[in-house]
Amino acid sequence: MFIRCYDYSVKTRLLILSLILLCFSTVASAKDCGRRYRIIVNNYAPLFDVNNEGHVHGLTFDIMNELSQRLGCVVSQAPMDAPRMQDDFNNWRADIVGLVIPSEKYLATGEYVPVYKTVRKLLVNKAHYDRSRTIADYIKDSRIKFGDQIGTRFFLTTDEKKLLFEAGRIVQYPSPATGFRQLTSGRVQAMFTSQSIYNYYQKTIPDLNQSVVAIPDPNYEMEGGIYLSVRRISKTEAMQIKKAISDMRKDGTLRRIVAKYASAEDLTFYKDL
């Protein structure tokens, strides 16, 4: 497979991402499907990231690249924030959106295809951590403010959202990087995240474990997947995409990709890999 990335600025990773870098994955295959899929993806690490040399990698990026290879098609990945992902997909400007959770925001325009399941992880600033407390205790504690990423909110149940918003205990942030800064600085005392995001910031912030305690929540299961545009994707194409994902699961490829972005301990919380 040959990956061709159009980098409109090589000076900084942040500028690359802000310009919505487009990366085209071209599969050298005798059976060229003759189709180009436009996929809109998350624009933050570790789902989609660009290193200092301009090389793209990430959990979502790798899964979509593998999908491209199996379909024998050209796939363009357009990274963007959650609100724009919804707008582009719902206005028929993309074939696929992912990785996302099942959402009513996409019901009218997309067909959901699950990829894997995992659980959320509660992060608590050490100054407010008490090993005798449960996750529910932190949510009920009026002194604890929670960080929450704009446009996602999939880490909270409906009742938790209602409780925290009505009490003014939510501080919103645009990206996980901002959320982790707020948590380690004490502006917020807790936040929920995923296994892969936590694993990434453990490596990015060397002293993270000195200021934050991580608590897996096996009682809250999250499903990650993709939506296929009901207008832009034919039934035959949808079947091919579903089969490709199923084959990735059967031959262990999906597990190998996820294992690159989750610790061995956290990998035990993933299902349907």
Report for 34-38, 216-220, 250-254: range of highest mean pLDDT: 250-254
Options 1.10.1040.10, 1.10.1660.10, 3.20.20.60, 3.40.190.10; CATH for 118-220 is: 3.40.190.10
29-38, 42-51, 183-192, 208-217: range with lowest mean pLDDT: 29-38
Q: State phi, psi for 132 to the nearest 5 degrees.
A: -85, -10
Rounded to whole angstroms, how far apart are CA atoms 147 and 180?
9
* 105 within 8 A of 247, measured Cβ to Cβ: no
Q: For residue 250, count CB atoms less than 10 angstroms from its CB and return exposed for 0-12, middle for 13-18, buried for 19 or more.
A: exposed
Q: In 10 A of CB 8, how many CB atoms?
A: 10
Residue 150: per-residue pLDDT: 78
Percent of the chain at pLDDT > 90 equals 73
Q: Are 231 and 164 in contact (CB under 8 A)?
A: no
Nearest by Cα to 41 from 77, 13, 9, 89: 77
Confidence of residue 54 (pLDDT cuts 50, 70, 90): confident
Q: What is the pTM of this model?
A: 0.86
Instruction: Please state the rounded mean pLDDT for residues 118-143.
Output: 96
| Structural domain boundaries in the chain | 2-117+223-265, 118-220
> Which of these, 264, 119, 101, 86, lies nearest to 193 by C-alpha position?
119
* pLDDT for residue 153: 58
Give yes or no for residue 12 having a pLDDT over 90. Answer: no
- Closest to 193 in 3D by CA, of 250, 248, 153, 247: 153
Among candidate residues 83, 91, 78, the one with its CA nearest the CA of residue 229: 91
List pLDDT tens digits, range 134-180: 999 999 999 999 998 876 556 888 899 899 999 999 999 888 999 99
User: Distance between CA 49 and CA 62 in Å, rounded?
Assistant: 11
User: Does the structure show a pLDDT above 80 at 252?
Assistant: yes
Beta-strand ranges (E) seen in the chain are 2-6, 22-26, 36-42, 49-50, 56-57, 74-80, 96-100, 110-125, 146-149, 170-173, 190-193, 212-229
DSSP bridge partners of 193 = 121
Helix 59-71 / helix 235-250 crossing angle, nearest 10 deg: 110
Query: Quick check: do 2-117+223-265 and 118-220 share a fold?
Result: yes
Considering the domain 2-117+223-265 in this protein, what is its CATH number? 3.40.190.10
Confidence of residue 235 (pLDDT cuts 50, 70, 90): very high
User: What is the SS3 assignment for 50?
Assistant: strand
